[in-house]
Chains A and B, each alone.
Chain A
Amino acid sequence: MAEILRVLGLTKIFKLHLLGGKEVIGCKDISFTLGTGEVLGIQGPSGVGKSTVLKCIYRSYVASAGQAFYRSINGVVDLLQVPERDILELRRQEIGYVSQFLRVVPRVSALQVVAESILLQGREESSALREAGRLLMYLGIPKELWDASPATYSGGQQQRVNVARAIITCPRLLLLDEPTASLDEQAKQRVHELILELKQKGTAVLMVSHDRASLEQVADRILFLDCVGDNQTGEVTRRAFEVAHH
Chain B
Amino acid sequence: MKELIKYLKNYKKECVLAPLFKLLEALFELIVPLAVAALIDRGIGGNDTAFVLRMGGFMVLLGAAGLAFSITAQYFAAAAATGFSSKVRRALFKAVQTFDFSTLDKTGTGTLITRMTSDVAQVQNGLNMFLRLFLRSPFIVFGAMIMAFTVDLQGALVFVVLIPVLFIVVAGIMRVTRPAYRLVQSKLDGITGRTRENLTGVRVIRAFHGEKREEESFLRENDELVDLQEKTGSISALMNPLTLVIVNLFTAGLIYVGAVRVDHGFITRGSVVALVNYMSQILIELVKLANLVVLLTKAMASADRVGEILNKERPEPGEKQGFPPENGDVPYISFDNVSLRYEEGSDLALENISFSVNKGDTVGVIGGTGSGKTSLVSLIPGYYKATEGSIRINGVEIGDIDEKALREKTGMVFQKTDLFSGSIRDNLLWGDPDASDSDLMEAVNAAQASEFVNEKPGELDFFIEQSGKNLSGGQKQRLTIARALVRHPEILIMDDSASALDFATDARLRSCIREMARSMTIFIVSQRAASVMHSDLIIVLDDGRIAGMGKHEDLLRENEVYKEIYYSQFPD
The reply to whether chain A is a binding partner of chain B is no
Residues of A within 8 A of B (CB): none
Residues of B within 8 A of A (CB): none
